Amino acid sequence: MEFDKEVDATGLNCPLPILRCKKGLSEIAAAQVLKVMATDRGAVKDFNAFCLQTGHELLQLDATDTHFTFYIKKRSS
């Protein structure tokens, strides 16, 4: 999937992956896509809840046993 910015949150535990995601989203324009890589198992639940609460769209989640990659489209305004 194409993306506009990448954030590496591997090796970080909650809440740091979400905080890095928020910072990354603040650095891109509306409708652009942020790629976030994480290893925290709780990140799947956290990113789903974050997107529901903030209006950003979780476009895709690629997951293995130990790595998770999220593609998040920044909400319009």
Residues tagged active-site: 14
CA atoms within 13 A on the CB side of 77: 0
Indicate the DSSP class of residue 2.
Answer: -
End-to-end Cα separation, the chain, in angstroms: 23
- For residue 59, list its beta bridge partners: none
